[in-house]
Amino acid sequence: MHSTTMLKRFCVISLVLLVLVGGSNLAVANAETINIAVPTDPDSFDPTRSVAAATAEIAFNIYEGLVKSTPDGQVTGALASHWEIDPSLKIYTFYLREAYFHNGSRVTAADVVNALNRARDPEISQRAGNYQAIDSVSAQGDNQVIVELKEPYAPLLYELTELAAAVYPKESAGLANRPIGTGPYKLEEWRPNQYIKLTRFDQHWSEQQPFFADVYFRIMPDYNSAVVSLKTGSIDLIPRLEASLFHQVQGVPNLAVYAAPMNLVQLLAVNNARPALSDLRVRQAIAMAINRDQIIIGAAWGQAEKLYTGLSPAMPEFYNSNLEDLLPYEPARAQALLQEAGYANLELTMTLPSAYPLHVQTGEIIADQLRRVGINVKIEIVEWGTWLEKVYTQRDYDLSIIGLTGKLDPHTILSRYVSTNSRNFTNFNSPEFDRLISEGISVSGPERRSIYDQAQEIMTREVAGVFIMDPMQINVLNAQIKGWQSYPVYVIDVAALYK
């Protein structure tokens, strides 16, 4: 009898020890390892297949294109050391540097040509639409790539920084699970729903060794538990923390918080094709019923910048900052406009994506604000897949809230509101706007800026949507880790981090 109790006790103790030892694997990890919490698995590491931003932020460390973006939103050389643009603005010549793939082979012009031709082939690439301006891509010798355009297309360099234009070896298959790039890190192991492990690539062309040898992207869908892990040290970095959890990390001594505008445009999408909403007065009434300050406090905990147009202030060269007073918050005028339009008792449905608490909360507050001017809003919260199908694809909705992620060039962002664009899910239709956008791609400098200023004014005045905020991206790090770089695009630059 006594011996069985002893045996039991022994079993319990060894079990506890096992758990402790197993659990501390993370905590006593080697100094050159960094653990990063991310909410979901990537969709695919094949640059032609991936559509999720969650993939791009990891793949930024694995793949490179001819050029890449810098933290201040400019374009710098990656595989191309430099490039020339001929005076017609239609021929770009890229000069390749001596660079190697993760499999050891050297990057040749043929690899680049193959990757870019696949990227613009609608049969192969999910993002082929972004590269339709390209007429041909050809190699000259082993180290020069010539890209010829059909028309001058100012956003080209920015489009080439995207994951979709990444370069991989010509003879490669199965990139979805085994990516081969040229970036400072290579994929070592991917355990779905657990982690993605990257290791340092010693032959990177920059000859600069990143500090961390091993990088774990740990899949943690629940931010609450990620914060606990960060506090106990088993996680070193949480990029994009939810604003409602900000208070849990604020003022904690061993944590450092970096907040920067996300370059995300959150908008109240107003379906311009619905009968009541096709009346400009109704759309303007909706815009004037909205109090952005209250939304930013109530939904984003004050961690956001107000927006009045479809671009974010994170793009200072193009953001039109003079639109604040175009349709100001004036509920009385909103009510008058509704009366005038004959919609004193309007009923609308707002479809919200449950996967994004920020958008759901924003929607709840906006519904409350609209009710105050006499628009009765019924809220309908749906799954992400349903949202994509119903709102984005079929455009079968009245109102919705969504965030459109940042790009480096205004054309990429604004062209979606062109009446014929397949992504124009608010059904915005302004011939003047369409004309300005098509002019914008072939000019540069102050002239280009003035065109986009006008375009932004039109989309605000005619209410393509009501633009609400650019939420702050809250990044929390273990204070020992330095070198955090915020980018205006959706990436995590692990190579810049050090201890």
Partner 1 sequence: MRQGNMPLWIGVFFIAVVAIPTIISFFYTPFDPVVMEIDVRLQPPSSAHWFGTDQYGRDLFSRIMVGGQTSLTISALAVGTGMLIGGTLGAFSGYYGKRTDELLMRIAEAFHSFPSILLALLAVTILGPGQRTVLAAIAIANIPVFMKITRASFMQQSKFEYVLAAQALGASDWRIITRHILPNSVRVILVQASASFAGALLAEASLSYLGLGVQPPQPSWGRMLREVQSIGDMAPWTVIFPGIAIALIVLGFNLMADGMRIKGK
| Residue ranges that bind partner 1, judged by CB under 8 A | 223-224, 242, 244-245, 247-248, 294, 297-298, 354, 361, 364-365, 367-368, 378-381
Residue 103 vs 376, nearer CB to partner 1: 376
Q: What's the rounded Cα separation, in Å, for the pair 375 and 339?
A: 11
**Nearest approach, Cβ of residue 250 and partner 1 (Å):** 10
Chain-centroid distance, C-alpha 328: 29
Asked if 498 and 79 count as a contact pair (C-beta separation under 8 A), the reply is no
Beta carbon of residue 471, minimum distance to partner 1 (angstroms, whole number):
15
Least Å from the CB of residue 298 to partner 1: 5
Which CB, 364 or 493, lies closer to partner 1? 364
Closest CA to 147 of 83, 216, 77: 83
CA separation for the pair 66, 146 (Å, rounded): 12
Short-list 24, 26, 38, CA closest to 492: 38
> How far apart are the C-alpha atoms of 129 and 148, rounded to whole Å?
16
Question: Are the C-beta atoms of residues 184 and 495 closer than 8 Å to each other?
Answer: yes
Taking the least distance from each CB to partner 1, the nearer of 244 and 450 is 244
Note the helical H segments in 426-483: 431-440, 445-461
Q: Least distance from C-beta 313 to partner 1, angstroms?
A: 23
Closest to partner 1 by CB, 91 or 228 = 228
Closest contact distance (angstroms) between CB of 366 and partner 1 is 10
Nearer to partner 1, 305 or 368 (CB): 368
Contact at 8 Å (CB) between 58 and 196? yes
Nearest approach in angstroms of CB 484 to partner 1 is: 23
8 A C-beta contact, residue 262 and residue 473? yes
d(CA 81, CA 77): 5
Neighbours of 321 (CB within 10 A): 11
Which CB atom, from 78 or from 370, has the smaller least distance to partner 1?
A: 370
Helix (H) or strand (E) holding 415: none
CB nearer to partner 1: pick between 277 and 365: 365
Q: Which of 169, 121, 124, 398 is nearest to 277 (CA)?
A: 398
Minimum distance between the CB of residue 238 and partner 1, rounded to whole angstroms? 13
